[in-house]
Amino acid sequence: MNLPNLRIGNGYDVHRLVEGRKLILGGVEVPHSLGLDGHSDADALVHALCDALLGALGAGDIGAYFPDTDPQWKGISSLLLLKEVMRMCREKGFELANADTIMVAQKPKLAPHLPQMIKNMAATMNVESERINIKATTTEKLGFAGREEGIAAYAVALLIKNV
């Protein structure tokens, strides 16, 4: 049977919310009193998507390629990591079918920023915007996200092999 060559991957990431850092999600600087802490810009959404793509590729996780001990990645835009991960996908002959993502944050309201996040990620990956979906939810004040200690992101990505 001739089945389409599909690969699915999932990704998950969390960063801590701290004072004195910008809040960057999907490459958008979201106005907020707290920002995500991390070695890069700590863009949890983009990190989760990178891990979903690498998972689909069977190629490990972003920690393996962009370790947080490497000064080269300090403070950089995570969109650059996403660009590199997408390059790796294409190098192996895969194209993005679609990606679906969720951000989990009590505050701030992320909904107004979703269209720009989609634009940024689609442009970085060189895919149509309709292939990327982003959802945002609170946790009804439960857990670390609900206590505003951090922001989590989940992603699934489906890759299809060009034949």
> Applying CB under 5 A, which part among 6-14, 17-25, 96-104, 152-160 lies near Mg ion?
6-14
Residue 114 β-bridge partners:
none
Q: Does 131 bind Mg ion (CB under 5 A)?
A: no
Cβ 23 to Mg ion shortest distance, Å: 14
Q: Which of residues 23-82 bind Mg ion (CB under 5 A)?
A: 47
46 three-class SS: helix
The strands making up 6-18's β-sheet, listed across from edge to edge, are 35-36, 6-18, 150-161, 94-104, 132-137
Sign of CA dihedral 91, 94, 97, 103: negative
Integer angstrom CA distances of residue 157 from 8, 74, 139: 6, 26, 23
Residue 59 or 160: the one with the smaller Cβ distance to Mg ion is 59
Residue 39 or 92: the one with the smaller Cβ distance to Mg ion is 39
Query: In the set 13, 45, 134, 159, which binds Mg ion (CB under 5 A)?
Result: 13
Cβ 63 to Mg ion shortest distance, Å: 8
- Six-digit token string for 131: 């292939």
Q: Applying CB under 5 A, which residues contact Mg ion?
A: 13, 47
